[in-house]
Amino acid sequence: VDRFPELADLAARENLWFHVDAAYGGFFLLTERGRARLAGIERADSVTLDPHKSLFLPYGVGALVVRDPRTLATSDASGRYLQDTDDLGSYAGLPDYGRLGPELTREARGLRVWLPLHLHGVAAFRDALDEKLDLAEEAHRVLRSMPGLEVPWHPELTIVGFRVRPHDSSPEARHRADEASRRMLEEINASTRAFLSSTEIDDRFTIRLTILSHRTHADRVTEALEIIAAAAAAVGGR
Ligand SMILES: Cc1ncc(COP(=O)(O)O)c(C=O)c1O
């Protein structure tokens, strides 16, 4: 998680827009741990939030929230037949969504977010997110105990990064370790029981275990860790 307080200070100092891409992480704000880790997000001018990620909801409900709704007001939608709405995107005191985004006529996507919250209550979502945070911490603990792997970061939310540990600090050893990590990821995903992705951190190929599906519980994480351990052994830890 980027250091929001420092970024907010920088943006304020330089008169810059402060946007936070919280598409994946934003809803962890519902949890105590998430609130601590995302401190400073409240100073953003705009925040991307994807309820189809950390709120476990169906696709198509991605949101951009802004401090000042006038920021979203579009002047493109004009025409005499629209003369009853004002430029600030409101009509009779209610938000006019036709003026607050690219679509003039749109479906009630908010319903898909509101209804599950209404039916299950916020606590159900908070508990599910806390479960994923616990699972990520446990996965981190187990991965750290696997020989031949390096697991440099404690997960701040629910992504655990790991890779094959090089024999030494030479560029050749790092290259060989990255190749082994690539083979390891292929081996893991060939299981078709767990799907992991990868990224580059500090110029090193790094595997990402992301725990975010509402269907992912301890049994699935245990199985994934067994698959990872087998893959690590198969690539010889190098
Ligand atoms: C931080 C972040 N921003 C944006 C996106 C893109 O989201 P989508 O694929 O739903 O458009 C992702 C997807 O994983 C993400 O993690």
CA atoms of 73 and 96, how far apart (whole Å): 9
Pocket of ligand 1 (CB under 6 A): 21, 23-24, 50, 62
* pLDDT score of 196: 98
* pLDDT score of 133: 98
Q: Would you say residue 88 has pLDDT above 80?
A: no
End-to-end Cα separation, the chain, in angstroms: 29
- Ligand 1 atom nearest 59 alpha carbon: 10
| CA 237 to ligand 1 centroid distance, Å | 31
Tell me the helix, strand and coil percentages in the chain, rounded to 5: 45, 15, 40
- Ligand 1 atom nearest 22 alpha carbon: 1
The string of DSSP letters for 100-111 reads SSS-SS---HHH
Indicate which residue's Cα is closest to atom 5 of ligand 1: 23
| CA 21 to ligand 1 centroid distance, Å | 8
* pLDDT score of 76: 63
Do 37 and 156 contact (CB within 8 A), yes or no?
yes
* pLDDT score of 115: 96
Report percent pLDDT > 70 for the chain. Answer: 94
Q: What's the whole-model pTM score?
A: 0.91
Q: Tens digit of pLDDT for each residue in 156-183? A: 999 999 999 999 999 999 999 999 999 9
